[in-house]
Amino acid sequence: MIPNAAAVRMTGISKAFGGVRALDDVSLEILPGEVHALLGGNGAGKSTILKILNGVHRPDQGTIEVGGVPLTTHTPEASRAAGIAMNYQEMSLVPTLTVAQNIFLTREWRDGIGFIDDNEAERRAAEIFAMLEVFVDPKAIVADLGAGQKQLTEIAKAISQDAKVLVLDEPSTALAVSDVERLFVFLRKLKAKGIAVIYVSHRMDEIARIADRATILRDGRHVITAPLAELPIDTMIEHIVGKRSMGLSDVARIQATKGEVLLELKDVSGAHKPEHISLTLHRGEVLGLAGLLGSGRSSLARAVAGIDPIASGEIRIKGRAVAIRKPSDAIAAGVALVPEARATQGIIPAHSVASNMILAVIGRLSKAGFVDTKAANSLTDTQIDRLKVKTASRDHAVATLSGGNQQKVVIGKWLATDPEILILDEPTAGIDIGSKSEIIRLVRELAASGKAIIMISSELSELLTACDRILVMADGRIHQDLPREALDDPEVSADDLAHRLQAAEQRLQIEIQKALAVQEI
């Protein structure tokens, strides 16, 4: 490391995935001995730039220096050798291995004759947890751990690398308040030793307490880097929200007539999340679920869709109690879920548009074990036309479509089941603003046609544009049930749609932060 050099200097970094530009000429400088917050909304480019730093992705353009030394080989091994350690938001643990084996995976301790020494790994792992002043059994199998202990194991894995730069991507998501406090104490010790910490979190209160400076990204571009003293929470939120909302501000809200109650949950709890959820959803209504990662939004969706059976409580559809223990029960009851992970749970990329569109109803289209090709093609063409899917033909592979059109195929697949209740989990993740607007218009059209819709999105502007009501969730519970109009600022002109949406976003962000504060008391 060159004396007085920046711990990390990334200059002019650009990266595109399949035509979607995730980063556009972004520069980032991290100083030794500082906690540097990296902030931005969903899709801002935070995880992408960190994965480039950690060697998971290769930049299309730009340069990286670590301690003043150019990083020219873009692999995880090269980044680790340069002194970078990263804890991933989505976790990189192997569930069948022990805690200690995960912490030292690919860096195993060995005895005098070269065999892997699990006992030494367990001792070293125990030392790291002791430094953090938390207890996790180094011998425990990771699959048997709760979410908080998995998160602590992920953090211990990053810390174990004796790095010069420690990257923590949403480290507090599953941690108890007391564990977060212990983590902060430990980070201050690392600062004192000159170690640089890049800290990613949506929790503004955490950032205000632990960070020295912050860099904010929006839509893959650098917005601002400044000391925390110059970035009060409302200013941070304004920079994060920025002009991103303006792309949706002109989406006309097709008004739907609110009909009878189609879905009712009474004190529903899952094995872990959600907890004691009660809600109603009417025909023609779009109900939004707002909250941060780990708030229980997807867990609630999975429970209603029969993927994770409920542990207690009651689900009622059209006034009748229904037992939803598996996805086929939900489909039979008129419920369909468009999952968050489009690539792994929504489509078969190598198969045609038609093959994907008919997957959920293939039994209905088959006779004597053979698919009725004419009926399948008719259904596919109807959905392509209805959803305005841009494809050369129904026979083209879904992998050849843009992200937005792939998402329309997933929605079309489930609309083919003719559900009355449609659950959309992050329906616009990873797609461009034009396609986002189209999907939100589609959501409003579906509501106007009599569907009842639950929509989950980390993009608050999308919830505010699409939804009639918004539930604010934290730690598996509902903290607020807000009519959409309650988030409008009466001081902002109704004709100024862009600023009106931006002001509503800031209000909703504040409500999410309030829910977190209540959770932590």
Nearest to 79 by CA among 191, 171, 165, 193: 165
* Structure tokens, 353: 């548009």
412 and 428 share one domain: no
Q: Over range 307-317, report the average pLDDT.
A: 92
Q: Please say if the pLDDT value at position 244 is more than 60.
A: no
pLDDT in tens, 202-241: 777 788 889 999 999 988 899 999 999 999 877 887 787 6
Q: Over range 349-360, report the average pLDDT.
A: 85
- Mean pLDDT (the chain) is 85
- Which pLDDT score is estimated for 431? 64
Distance CA 132, CA 455 (A): 38
190 and 281 share one domain: no
- Which pLDDT score is estimated for 250? 60
CB of 458 within 8 A of CB of 509?
no
Give the CA dihedral 391, 395, 401, 407, nearest 10 degrees.
90
Q: Over range 120-139, report the average pLDDT.
A: 89
Q: Please say if the pLDDT value at position 247 is more than 60.
A: no
pLDDT in tens, 362-373: 888 888 778 888
Q: Please say if the pLDDT value at position 18 is more than 60.
A: yes
- Which pLDDT score is estimated for 430? 60
Q: Is the peptide bond before 274 cis (omega within 30 degrees of 0)?
A: yes
Q: Over range 388-415, report the average pLDDT.
A: 82
**CATH number of domain containing 494:** 3.40.50.300
pLDDT in tens, 86-121: 886 556 788 899 999 999 988 898 988 889 999 999
* Structure tokens, 72: 């020219």
Residue ending a domain, choose from 242, 276, 311 = 242
Residue 341 lies in a domain: no
Residue 340 lies in a domain: no
Residue ending a domain, choose from 366, 386, 418 = 418
Chain-centroid distance of CA 179 in Å reads 22
Residue ending a domain, choose from 242, 273, 294 = 242
Residue 2 lies in a domain: no
97 and 237 share one domain: yes
Residue 167 lies in a domain: yes
pLDDT tier at 253 (50, 70, 90 boundaries)?
low
Lowest mean pLDDT among 20-29, 55-64, 122-131, 500-509: 500-509
Q: Please say if the pLDDT value at position 382 is more than 70.
A: yes
Distance CA 35, CA 55 (A): 21
79 and 134 share one domain: yes
52 and 90 share one domain: yes
Residue 342 lies in a domain: no
65 and 117 share one domain: yes
Helix/strand/coil (H, E, C) string of 334-375?
CEEEECCCHHHHHCCCCCEHHHHHCHHHCCCCEECCEECHHH
- Which pLDDT score is estimated for 435? 67
Distance CA 90, CA 375 (A): 41
Q: Over range 314-332, report the average pLDDT.
A: 93
Q: Please say if the pLDDT value at position 402 is more than 80.
A: no
pLDDT tier at 243 (50, 70, 90 boundaries)?
very low
pLDDT tier at 246 (50, 70, 90 boundaries)?
very low
pLDDT tier at 513 (50, 70, 90 boundaries)?
confident
Residue 386 lies in a domain: yes
What's the full length of the chain, in residues? 521
- Which pLDDT score is estimated for 245? 40
- Which pLDDT score is estimated for 373? 85
Element (H, E) at 215: strand 213-218
**Could you tell me the CA-to-CA distances from 364 to 5, 346, 395, 417 in Å, in that order?**
66, 20, 20, 10
Between 362 and 301, name the one with better pLDDT: 301
- Which pLDDT score is estimated for 365? 82
Highest average pLDDT, of 19-33, 351-365, 417-431, comes from 19-33
In DSSP notation, 259-288 reads: -SEEEEEEEEE-SSS--SEEEEEETT-EEE
- Which pLDDT score is estimated for 10? 96
Nearest to 336 by CA among 404, 259, 425, 258: 425
The fraction of the chain above a pLDDT of 70, given in percent, is: 90
- pTM across the whole model: 0.62
pLDDT in tens, 502-512: 888 888 888 88
Residue 464 lies in a domain: yes
Numbers of helices and strands, H then E, in the chain: 16, 22
Distance CA 275, CA 267 (A): 8
Q: Over range 303-329, report the average pLDDT.
A: 92
How is residue 98 annotated by DSSP?
B
Distance CA 38, CA 26 (A): 12
* Structure tokens, 11: 């200059």
Between 292 and 457, name the one with better pLDDT: 457
pLDDT tier at 470 (50, 70, 90 boundaries)?
very high
What is the count of structural domains for the chain?
Answer: 3
- Which pLDDT score is estimated for 248? 64
Nearest to 214 by CA among 7, 12, 9, 35: 35
- Which pLDDT score is estimated for 389? 83
379 and 499 share one domain: no
Residue 388 lies in a domain: yes
314 and 358 share one domain: no
187 and 324 share one domain: no
- Which pLDDT score is estimated for 436? 75
353 and 299 share one domain: no
- Which pLDDT score is estimated for 96? 93
- Which pLDDT score is estimated for 176? 67
369 and 510 share one domain: no
Nearest to 257 by CA among 451, 421, 448: 448
Domain coverage including residue 281: 243-251+259-334+420-521
222 and 157 share one domain: yes
